[in-house]
Amino acid sequence: MADLNDRILALAGGVGGAKLALGLAGELPPDALTVVVNTADDFDHLGLSISPDLDTVMYTLAGVANPETGWGRRQETWTVMEALGQLGGETWFRLGDKDLATHIERTRRLRTGETLSAVTRDLARRLGVRCAIVPMTDDAVRTIVTTDQGDLAFQDWFVRLHCEPAVRSLHFAGAATATPHPVLQDPPDLRGIVICPSNPFVSVAPILAVPGVRDMIERLKVPKVAVTPIVGGQAIKGPAAKMLAELGHDVSALGVARYYKGLIDGFVLDQADAGLAPAIEALGIEVQVTDTMMRNDLDKRRLAASTLDFVDALARSLQHS
């Protein structure tokens, strides 16, 4: 069994990933958790460099996230957006006043030549986050959604068009030439890898698309566990279920487990989907059934603890295999 100080590497997108990351941060010493975050949703808007998933994870871990939306900051105001609307500016992507400070400061620093990793580390520290939050890469990778209305930049599809155009395929522009974050090139001794309950196609896939990352994960002899983002055939949040259907997958936790086949050793399945366990086990993936719904901070801690127990149990069976 891995030493308890060995690290957990968690792969996360936005809201769902951030919730489990918060649970993991509660269960682990600060230096034992590294959250690798998708940056393929990042975009330039209003002249600002916006990193929605990094910010959702950062705000959540800092305890300043908006509990209603899951994104943005709590006790937010919208004065800049209102004034921008008065000036004829674009307001379809809602940026609160406090949140804007993050984008303004990040943009300023990136322009001075700092890396996204360095800026993220400092902003997170300033907000009181103690574990490591790292972008999957410091290079620009951008999700392009090929739809029945043509190719769309991710936020155009996701926010401006409310995910409505049917998805035919996805690609991650810039991924092929991106350099993974150092922690993905040369990971420390790991207790395990946790794929958070994030969208497999637009949150996790971009991380895996950065050259070497998927290979590194497949090669490592540590437990790799995914937590389902689908319960009862529905996504907890976001367009994962719609994407499963439109991309020809089973709209279920089984569809997700199949998608991760070859990458993971274990799958955390919601109790509502317990009936899918045999089919997932038939893929050669161990299953842990639990309540995966994270309604409050206690739920997040409980799911994190259960996931870590599963990781450790898998470590024991890996040792015996």
What residues make contact with a second copy under the rule CB under 8 A? 46-48, 73, 77, 79-84, 86-89, 97-102, 104-105, 107-108, 111, 122-123, 126-127
Q: Which is nearer to a second copy, 81 or 243 (CB)?
A: 81
Q: Which is nearer to a second copy, 6 or 105 (CB)?
A: 105
Assign residue 170 a region (left: φ > 0; alpha: ψ between -120 and 50; beta: otherwise). beta
The H or E element containing residue 129 is none
Rounded to 5, what percent of the chain is helix, strand, coil?
Answer: 45, 20, 35
Minimum distance from CB of 109 to a second copy (Å)?
A: 9
Minimum distance from CB of 85 to a second copy (Å)?
A: 8
Minimum distance from CB of 22 to a second copy (Å)?
A: 20
Minimum distance from CB of 90 to a second copy (Å)?
A: 8
Minimum distance from CB of 121 to a second copy (Å)?
A: 12
Map tokens 């998805």 to a residue.
167
Q: Which is nearer to a second copy, 97 or 299 (CB)?
A: 97
How far from the centroid of its chain's Cα atoms is residue 5's Cα? 23
Q: Report CA-CA distances (Å) from 295 to 21, 59, 195, 225, 238.
A: 14, 17, 19, 21, 16
C-beta separation of 134 from 38 below 8 A = no
Nearest to 16 by CA among 278, 194, 146: 194
Minimum distance from CB of 127 to a second copy (Å)?
A: 7
Strand partners, 144: 153, 171
Minimum distance from CB of 86 to a second copy (Å)?
A: 6
How far from the centroid of its chain's Cα atoms is residue 59's Cα? 13
Q: What whole-number distance in Å separates Cα of residue 90 and Cα of residue 53?
A: 21
**SS3 category, 191:** strand
Q: What whole-number distance in Å separates Cα of residue 279 and Cα of residue 234?
A: 18
Q: Which is nearer to a second copy, 4 or 101 (CB)?
A: 101
Q: Which is nearer to a second copy, 69 or 107 (CB)?
A: 107
Q: Which is nearer to a second copy, 66 or 203 (CB)?
A: 66
Q: Which is nearer to a second copy, 89 or 188 (CB)?
A: 89
